[in-house]
A and B are shown apart, each in its own frame.
Chain A
Amino acid sequence: AQTVTQSQPEMSVQEAETVTLSCTYDTSESNYYLFWYKQPPSRQMILVIRQEAYKQQNATENRFSVNFQKAAKSFSLKISDSQLGDTAMYFCAFMNNAGNMLTFGGGTRLMVKP
């Protein structure tokens, strides 16, 4: 069974600054997918960024980028130029190659301060 661990329950960052959220996972599979989801107070889970394990290049989506270290089983999210709208819970998630279920970490609550 896979496990996903987010060791930072809460973080804060000043508007326009950069923040990095940490995530580690454990799996015996060689091919899989990793995700960061954002859950604002509206409760709807929104996909932020996705990484395929077979790709060495780190994924980037506008202000969001990841640092994927497969050997270390580490998958951190960097948010650049933080905006007030980035305030939310952030969940790291793992999906196996069968694509039939997500395993989530416990989440990191991020607050962006003006």
Chain B
Amino acid sequence: DAGVTQSPTHLIKTRGQQVTLRCSPKSGHDTVSWYQQALGQGPQFIFQYYEEEERQRGNFPDRFSGHQYPNYSSELNVNALLLGDSALYLCASSHRQSFSTGELFFGEGSRLTVL
């Protein structure tokens, strides 16, 4: 049973560029959440998708956008990259029926470096 998979694992961009990160949820999961983890800090919630719509959003600017496909996979897009966007981006999946358990399954993340 494949867990949460993310791609790419590492990438380097320059300021002003755009980046797309991808996530495939664990088999049987229909909900994907994205988190940003700056170096030495705890993850911060960016947004959550299910039924192909953004359902909840954290305190992130509109430069951060996402998408969920019918197969439940998801993308995180960041436009006009800033140095401060350098971080580990974590994808977490769950099933809406198990929201009450609160258990999320995380991928290994995509490490973004902005120069």
Contacts and interface: CB of A to CB of B under 8 A. Distances in A.
Interface of A: 4, 33, 35, 37, 42-47, 50, 91, 93, 95, 98-107
Contacts of B106: 37, 44-46
Contact of B88 (A43, A103, A107): A43
Given A99-B102, A100-B48, A107 B42 contact: yes
Interface in B58-115: 58, 88, 90, 92, 99-104, 106-109, 111
B19 to A, nearest CB: 18
Given A43-B88, A43-B109, A100-B55, A106 B100 contact: no
Interface string B29-50: 0000101000011111100100
Contacts of B107: 44
Contact residues of A: prevailing secondary structure: strand
A104 B100 CA distance: 18
B15 to A, nearest CB: 24
Contacts, number: 60
A102 B45 contact: yes
Contact of B56 (A47, A91, A100, A103): A100
A104 B42 contact: yes
Interface of B: 33, 35, 40-45, 48, 55-56, 58, 88, 90, 92, 99-104, 106-109, 111
Contact of A103 (B40, B45, B111): B45
Nearest to A100: B56
A-B pairs with lowest CB-CB distance, top 4: A99-B99, A104-B42, A45-B106, A33-B102
Nearest to A91: B42
A61 to B, nearest CB: 12
Given A45-B90, A102-B102, 9 more contacts: A4-B42, A45-B43, A47-B104, A91-B43, A98-B99, A99-B99, A101-B56, A102-B45, A103-B45
A4 B42 CA distance: 10
Most buried by A among B42, B43, B103, B108: B42
Contacts of A50: 101-103
B74 to A, nearest CB: 15
